[in-house]
Amino acid sequence: MSNKDETVLSNEHTPLFANESGPIKEVHAFWLAGMSCDGCSIAAVGAKNPSVEQLIHQQIPGLPKIILHHPVLAVEAGHRFMEPYYKAVRGELGATYVVLYEGSVADEDIAKETGGYFSAMGAQFLTDEDGELLGDGSWRPYPTADMLKELAPGAAAVIAVGTCAAWGGVPAAIGNVTNAMGVMDFLGKDYRSALGLPVVNVPGCSPIGDNITETITAVLMFLAGVGPLPEFDELGRPAWMFNETVHRGCPRAGFYEEGTFADEYGQQECLVELGCWGPVVQCNIARRGSLGHNGGCMNVGGICIGCTMPGFPDAFAPFYKAPPGKFISGTASR
């Protein structure tokens, strides 16, 4: 049989399930970084279930096409990279978008007093008192806090990635000079996205990568009309991820129940007396692991320092010291 008579097998005819229908077929994802160490970006690209590659290549049935704009992962640079951000700010993007904010939000008014900025990306052209652009084309680095404020009203969803973005985190610790805060505090507790969602918080320092991508997937499936509204708790966190304490999934919890505690690192017993906050901290790292269902603080011999919780780090300092209530709980266990 000649080549032209051969039947070529292909899956090009296969429908992409719900991608062929639904109200939203394409979503732009704008990643902004405030006062951040970029650890949340590293966690996200290390996610396995689902992975960033699965999200942007539309390999998950029902998910709309995702166009990711990330300052580190992008191939484009300069104005070509920033133009979609500018279009979204001006209301000219012509497509649905979500905002993913990493790092705490600094009070840029403090920096502006001396002509500076704390966290910025791109160029912000200056205006006069009437809001008109200055004729000389003057500009300054575009504070990401300003960009967040301008993008949030039109966003289908705003997701705060990491503890700094959720509660303020390390940059908001006592003694900071930036008046840093979380996204929810910055936008206001009554903020709702263009489609009615509050700020979604995915805390952790850094968060579990799979927690980030799973939350994004759940939100996008809802926006695409192929999934239910995800359940969030009173702090705006995905309820199914943060409804239990670290202690419940800890491999050392049995020792706690027996009243057997480690007195130095390297021992297999419960770590509460060495400073572990697991019994009161809500986090799924002991069950899910840090990366690819491997690792995780207690799983590798470390303590929980409360990094997913509001008030971190101040409320849980000093680290590696027995937490308040240790004597009562430890004595009761014994």
Q: Which tokens go with 43?
A: 């966690």
pLDDT in tens, 263-274: 999 899 999 999
Phi (first) and psi of residue 144, to 5 degrees: -65, -25
Least confident of 50-64, 115-129, 282-296, 310-324: 115-129
Least confident of 181-185, 243-247, 302-306, 318-322: 318-322
Residue 276 pLDDT class (50, 70, 90 cuts): very high
pLDDT in tens, 35-81: 999 999 999 999 999 999 999 998 998 889 999 999 999 999 999 99
Q: Residue 3: its pLDDT value, please?
A: 47
* Interval 326-332 mean pLDDT: 55
pLDDT surpasses 60 at 17:
no
Q: Which tokens go with 114?
A: 């001396």
Tally of residues, the chain = 334
| Rounded distance between C-alpha atoms, residue 50 and residue 44, angstroms | 10
Q: Which tokens go with 324?
A: 């308040």
Burial of 136 (0-12, 13-18, 19+ CB in 10 A): exposed
Place of tokens 């996610």: 47
pLDDT in tens, 66-121: 999 999 999 999 999 999 999 999 999 999 999 999 999 999 999 989 989 999 99
Residue 12 pLDDT class (50, 70, 90 cuts): very low
The answer to whether 286 touches 303, Cβ cutoff 8 Å, is no
Q: Residue 130: its pLDDT value, please?
A: 66
Give every CB contact of residue 28 below 8 A, 6+ residues apart in sequence. 66, 67, 69, 84, 88, 93, 95, 96, 97, 98
Please give the C-alpha separations between residue 181 and each of 152, 305, 316, in angstroms, as whole numbers.
Answer: 16, 20, 18
Residue 139 pLDDT class (50, 70, 90 cuts): confident
Q: Residue 323: its pLDDT value, please?
A: 81
| Rounded distance between C-alpha atoms, residue 172 and residue 179, angstroms | 7
Q: Residue 331: its pLDDT value, please?
A: 54
pLDDT surpasses 50 at 14:
no
* Interval 183-194 mean pLDDT: 95
Q: Residue 6: its pLDDT value, please?
A: 47
Strand positions, DSSP E, 103-163: 120-125, 139-143, 157-161
Q: What percent of the chain has pLDDT over 90?
A: 70
| Rounded distance between C-alpha atoms, residue 42 and residue 39, angstroms | 5
* Interval 163-172 mean pLDDT: 97
* Interval 169-191 mean pLDDT: 96
Domains of the chain and any CATH numbers: 17-223 (3.40.50.700), 246-333 (4.10.480.10)
Based on its alpha-carbon atoms, the radius of gyration of the chain, rounded to whole angstroms, reads: 23
Query: pTM of the entire structure?
Result: 0.87
Count CB atoms within 10 A of the CB of residue 315: 11
